[in-house]
Each structure stands twice: as C-alpha cells, then as structure tokens.
C-alpha cells in the first residue's frame, strides 16, 4: 500500500486525490504522463550538463508549463469531478447584488452556484471532443485552458475579482 500525505487546505488534497483516482482508473494516462515527464525533465538528469540534483533545479516554472498532458489531466479531473458541482457563497456586500437578469440577491443571503452545468455546457466548453459527461484526460491540450485559468467554463476556483489565488 502506498501512503501519500498532502499538507494543504481540504479542497486541494481532495483535488489531488481526484487526479490520482483518474490516473488509476485509466492506466493509459500514467504511461502518457511518464513519457511526457521524461521528455520534459529527462534532459535535467544529474548525468547531463544541466544540474538537477535537487528538485528546485528540475521543477522550474518553465519546465512545469511544458507538462501540458499533466495540466490537462488535472483540469479535466477537476471539471468532471461531481464532488465540486456546486459552491455556496454569501453576499457579504452591504447592499443587494443585482444580477444581469434582474434577480436581486439580498445582503447576507446565501446562494448556491451550480458549477456542474457550466462544466458540461456545450457553448461554454469549447473543444473538439464534446460529450462533457465523459472524462477525456487530454481534452484541454491545445485549447489554452490550463488548470489555473478560471472563467465561466471552469468555476472550480471561483471567477471574477474574488477568484482563489
């Protein structure tokens, strides 16, 4: 048995568990990710001219940005994870919030944001695969939609000026 510990706030370790679950659920993903890792980080081995004796030397921002398959698997795992289909929020403003459709949310009112529908909406999810009820690990490659890019199509970290940093 393999034990992994992730020191983090609760949602992040849930998300990491979701990614690991998908990798185990679809064994072909692991081989693709290992191949990508070897292509991106393989030249950074201690036997090469580049120094990579400690992780900080290997996992640079530039190197991590090249791990597009890993990024896509993470974003798709989060998008397809039914655990994060809704998010509760409270209007903490001192005034009512008026939505674009005219609905007013009173100050102090709790609301529930339905991310499930956004994560499966054909008009919001712009890729060539469609069928958003299915997990497609490499759906986001070449779409300019990274795991950290939020918007109406990906509400996991929120949206707007109060997005999770």
Instruction: Give 131-162 pLDDT, tens digit per residue.
Output: 888 899 999 999 888 888 888 888 777 777 77
Query: Could you tell me which residue, 68 or 122, shows the higher pLDDT?
Result: 68
What 3-state class would DSSP assign to 7?
A: coil
User: Is pLDDT of 49 > 90?
Assistant: no
What 3-state class would DSSP assign to 123?
A: coil
Domain boundaries, the chain: 23-159
User: Is pLDDT of 8 > 90?
Assistant: no
What 3-state class would DSSP assign to 83?
A: helix
Specify the pLDDT at position 158. 75
The phi and psi torsions of 71 (rounded to 5 degrees) equal -60, -45
Give the separation between CA 137 and CA 78, rounded to whole angstroms.
11
Q: Give pTM, 2 decimals.
A: 0.76
User: Is pLDDT of 5 > 70?
Assistant: no
């Amino acid at each position: 048995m393999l034990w992994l510990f992730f020191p983090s706030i609760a949602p992040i370790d849930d998300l990491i568990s979701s990614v690991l679950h998908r990798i185990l659920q679809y064994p072909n993903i692991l081989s693709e990710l290992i191949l990508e890792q070897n292509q991106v980080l393989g030249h950074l081995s201690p036997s090469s001219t580049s120094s990579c004796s400690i992780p900080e030397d290997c996992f640079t921002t530039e190197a991590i940005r090249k791990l597009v398959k890993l990024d896509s698997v993470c974003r798709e795992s989060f998008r397809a994870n039914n655990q994060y289909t809704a998010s509760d929020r409270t209007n903490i403003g001192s005034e009512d919030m008026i939505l674009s459709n005219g609905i007013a949310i009173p100050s102090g009112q709790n609301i529930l944001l339905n991310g499930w529908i956004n994560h499966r909406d054909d008009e919001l999810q712009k890729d060539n695969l469609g069928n958003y009820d299915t997990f497609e690990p490499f759906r986001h490659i070449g779409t300019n939609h990274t795991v950290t890019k939020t918007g109406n199509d990906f509400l996991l970290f929120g949206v707007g000026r109060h997005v999770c940093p």
